[in-house]
Each structure stands twice: as C-alpha cells, then as structure tokens.
Structure 1
Amino acid sequence: MTPQERAEKAAETMYAADKASSSLGMEITYIAPGSATLTMRVADEMLNGHRICHGGYIFTLADSAFAFACNSYNKLTVAQQNQITYIAPGHAGELLTATASETALGGRSGVYDVMVTGEDGRTVATMRGLSRTIKGQLFPEDGEHV
C-alpha cells in the first residue's frame, strides 16, 4: 500500500465513524500523508447572536481537518492541545475551508497548522494542533489487528 493509498483508506475509515463531522456537513476535499482539507457550509443553526458563525463551529471544522491529517498514517492519533485564533467572521451560507498541514513529526508527537478560509479567500482563523499517537490503527494492515 502506498502512503497516499494509506491516507485515503484511513480518511475513509475514520469518516465513516465520525458522526460529528458528517452531521455538520463537512466534506473531505483533499487527503495526503500529513495533510487534509475539509469544507463546511455555515448553516443558520451555526450562527451566534451577532449573526456570524459561532467560533465553536469554526474550531470544530479546524479540529476535524487536524484529525484527518494526523491520522493519515493509519496510526491512532489524538489531539493533545489546540490553540485557535479567530481573524474574521464566517457568514451564513458561506463555504468555509480548513486546510491542515503537518509541520513537525517526531516519535509519538506531531505539530499541525490549520488555516480556515472563507469563500473569498480571506483568513477566518488559524489553529495549531499538537497530536499524540496512541496504540492501535484505524484499519488492519500487514497482518496486524486493530
């Protein structure tokens, strides 16, 4: 299995069980080893009292992109820490895009940067996620068991 095939199968396996991302209408538009891009349309139910996208939904999109990127090696990986900075609001009906990229990976620890953008290309938020690999795999590989 090539690294790209592994990343694709890991994303497919993970997405099938990810009710949070799928119920919010998130779609994986790109996956590769150490990186992922997800989109989410801002629904009316996601708007806060200012009629802009609630920061929790923006964070959820960024966190999901981070999760798919750091699990792309078929090694169970969880978030250890995340920090988000909101730059501009997300608007009703707008398609937001979160692009996660691996910036460092050593041993069981990884660092991923996520950029959330609006349809017009403006930066909505930036997030840095720290990951930790734990025991197990998303799917069996090379005779191993999940």
Structure 2
Amino acid sequence: MQIQQTVFLTLITASMFSCSSPEQPFTKQTYPVKGKISVDGKEPGSPIQIQCLSTGEIDTEHPTASGSISANDGTFELSTYTSGDGIPPGDYTLTFVWKKYDIMSRGYSGPDKLKKRYDKPEKSKIKFSVVEGKPTDLGTIELTTK
C-alpha cells in the first residue's frame, strides 16, 4: 500500500509539472538603488529594516514589494526580485524600523530604536525617484533616535 501511494503521488506531481506553462513570471525592469543610513551621526552597528513604497498609483496587475535590510555599517541596496537587483522606475518613499534581531526566531522583536519616527510612509521624509536606465545613489540618510 505504501509503494502504491508513493507511485501515485509521484505521477500526480509529474503531471502537474508537465502541464505547467514554460513562461517565466512577469518581472519589471529594475535599476540599482543604494545608500547608507546614519543614526545620530554614527553607523547603526546592527541591521535596520527598510521598506520602499511607491508614491504613485498602485500597479494592480503586476504589484511589487521592494526593500532591504542594512548592513551593520548602515549600507544597503534595495531589492525587488533578487538581492540587490534594484527597483522599477517611479517615485518612492522609504520607511525604517530598527529592532533587535532574535537569532532563535530569526526575526526582529522588541521596541523600535527609532521610536517609530520613520515606520509609516506619511511620517518619512525620505522621498526619491528612480529614472529608467540610471542607478540611484541616495547618499547618507540621517536618522535620529532623539
């Protein structure tokens, strides 16, 4: 009985993959965006979560989600599909959350060290545009805990 179930599951899985479309999923062209975060004039010393949100109309047919996690020295590259690939052209705002990384849960927890100053798009003053065909360097973004 065990062998029959295994053979059946194998045949079902094979038929699912043979019927699937060979087309790749739709992806938008992205362009590199990099920068560095400074907190109270210093390198943060631990990762800061960055979310990149479009300020334009939402593409309901092909929506994207972009963001990054900074290195301990504050440097970052924004990503959409793969690490550091950049983001599609458009106008954006960045949000930042700086919590403690919990190794056991592999997630972030605790209070936001930035005291929720930059956690929502309407609070953030970090706005920029990505132009087709050009990389974007945001320079150093100064954040504060005070």
Q: Would you call these one fold, judging by a TM-score over 0.5?
A: no
Bigger strand share = 1
The interval holding the TM-score normalised by the smaller chain is under 0.3
Higher relative contact order (CA 8 A, sep 6+): 2
Give the TM-score, by structure 1 length.
0.27
Bigger helix share = 1
Give the TM-score, by structure 2 length.
0.27
